[in-house]
Structure 1
Amino acid sequence: MPEPGPNPIDLGEPIDIGTPPPASSDEDPDTDADSKTKSKRPVRRVLIAILLAVATAAVAMLGFTSWRIIAQRHAELEIQPSVGPLSLDYSREGASTADYLRTALAAEVELDRTYGAVYQEAPDKNVLFLAGTGLLWTPGKDLDAAMNLISDGEGAVTELKTVDPGPLDGTMKCGITKSSDGDLTVCGWADHGSLALAMFNNRTPAEAAPLMLALRNATESR
């Protein structure tokens, strides 16, 4: 009969170690998502602030432009018999030239009414003046278009410089163009209700600018 072997080892009841926990990461997913959301908030605030600033500036600019249009659109012009040292030329040739200038301006810029005049100061100094009234949305561009009228007839207006437009505001420029009789100074103004050009012989832009301002102050009213 065989000898009994050693008693079996009692391992006891199985130990329930449960479900192993998920592999840990350096950051909790919820914490990571929340952190990313928070990090985006300052960027969004900056973008919103920039958009608000741009919108505010645009509204302010629109308001200022609208105010200028309303203030300037109802301009009226009246040709004066004399302005400073200038006297209106009533001769047939002067009237014919004035009519030609008026017609040429009307063909170049869309205006409700146009005017033309020739002023004289001395036999060797005169001023060809053409102007018109109407609603101008872009006075600066319309003034450049009117300058092309001079360019077609004489030559490009060069050395254009902005000069003081006076209390009526808007834009005023003076430059030089070539002609068969020598250099001509060309000055012009434009606002949301009127536009004018003048050609001065035997005058520099520095001499013509204050005379153009005097013509404007005497001719334009609102």
Structure 2
Amino acid sequence: MSDAHLTERQLDEGPDPVDLTDEPIQLSHRDPASDPPRRAPASRRRRIVLAAALAVGLAGAAALGTAGWRVAQQKDTRLSAPEQVAGLTRDDSERARSTADYLRSGFAADIDLDTSFGTVYRDPADETRAVLVFGGTTLLWQPERDLDSLFRLMADETGRVAGLREVPAGKLGGVMKCGTTSGDGGDFAICGWADHGSAAMAMFPSRSVDDAAGLFRQIREGVQTRD
């Protein structure tokens, strides 16, 4: 019987029932396990990207803010040569003044300074342990890089600086490093500091690097002030 000749009874009863088997009905030959993972909706992806970009931007802004605060804190620095510092006494003899001025001039020739100073301090307990300090003030954007450059220049003058390492800079911050080099009197310790407002170095005959580093921190706290 054709569809065109369906009886009214058949129309009322609806289509013949479909026999279901116990076998699963496969609607597609595609393997679900091979399907690529579903992509997140575009709006969600944009939110994730924007959130990541915002996090990176905030981290960068925080780093810039910290660096800017450090520059502002350290840039206005003054260095002086008090008569007494860290248990040492300033040597005002003509020979000491000449030596200090030579070191100051050489240091100033290596770095563009606003102000410079150089002095020799005597150790009242041992005349062979005098300390030669020289440095100056200027705005330094990359203190550690500039300090490393100064040590390289010092190595050119003395032959080399061995065992150079970073040591605690103390409450004034910045970076401080010490090593050993050679002179007419044999090996001696040499230390330097740099921050965003100053750089200085000191020579320590007859002292170990550890002894020199501790004394240099004390000297720095006695000669450096900030606005």
**How does the TM-score come out when normalised to structure 2?**
0.77
1:162 aligns with 166
Q: Which moved more, 1:64-73 or 1:40-49?
A: 40-49
Give the superposition deviation at 1:41: 4.9
- Alpha-carbon distance between aligned partners in 2 of 1:75 and 1:131, rounded to the nearest angstrom: 12
In the TM superposition, residue 178 of structure 1 has moved relative to its aligned partner by: 2.5
Give the aligned partner of residue 51 of structure 2. 49
Among candidates 118, 124, 131, match of residue 127 of structure 1: 131
Aligned length, in residue pairs:
190
The question of whether the paired residues in 2 share the 8 Å contact of 1:105 and 1:149 is answered with no
Partner SS state of residue 97, structure 1: helix
Query: Conserved in 1, the CA contact under 8 Å of 2:86 and 2:222?
Result: no
Alignment of 1:179 onto 2:183: yes
| Matches for 1:31-180 after TM superposition, within 5 Å | 38-121=40-123, 122-180=126-184
Aligned partner of 1:161: which letter?
A: R
Q: 1:52 to 1:103 in 2, by over 3 A?
A: same
Distance 1:88 1:56 in 2: 49
TM-score (norm 1): 0.79
Query: Cα distance, 1:86 vs. partner?
Result: 1.5
Offset, 1:56 = 0.9
Query: Once the two structures are superposed, what CA deviation does each residue of 1:14-40 show, in whole Å capped at 9, x if it has no partner?
Result: xxxxxxxxxxxx9xxxxxxxx76x455
The DSSP-based 3-state class of the residue aligned with 2:135 is strand
| Post-superposition CA distance 1:105-164 (Å, at most 9, x none) | 111111101100111112211111101011111111111122123212112222122212
In 2, Cα distance between the equivalents of 1:91 and 1:161?
33
Partner of 1:192: 196
Q: Distance in 2 between matches of 1:44 and 1:73?
A: 42
Identity in percent: 41
The one of 191, 207, 210 aligned to 2:211: 207
Within 5 Å, which residues of 2 pair with 1:23-34?
A: none
Alignment partner, residue 18 of structure 2: none
Q: Is the 8 A contact 1:155 1:179 kept in 2?
A: no
Q: Cα deviations across residues 34-69 of structure 1 (Å, max 9, x unaligned)?
A: x76x45555444433322221111100100011011
RMSD over aligned CA atoms reads: 2.1
Q: Kindly indicate whether residue 219 of structure 2 is the aligned counterpart of residue 221 of structure 1.
A: no
Which one has a bigger Cα radius of gyration? 1
Alpha-carbon distance between aligned partners in 2 of 1:89 and 1:79, rounded to the nearest angstrom: 11
Question: Which segment drifts farther, 178-187 or 41-50?
Answer: 41-50
Deviations 1:69-122 (A, max 9, x none): 111110111101121331111111111111111111111111101100111112
Amino acid at match of 1:151: A
Unaligned runs of 5+ in 1: 1-25, 27-34
SS in 2 for 1:167: coil
Aligned mates of 1:96, 1:43 — CA distance in 2: 70
Cα shift at 1:187? 0.8
Q: Counterpart of 2:16? A: none
Q: Per the alignment, in what secondary structure is the counterpart of residue 124 of structure 1?
A: helix
- Which 5+ residue runs of structure 2 have no aligned equivalent? 1-28, 30-37
Q: Measure the CA separation in 2 of the matches of 1:44 and 1:144.
A: 45
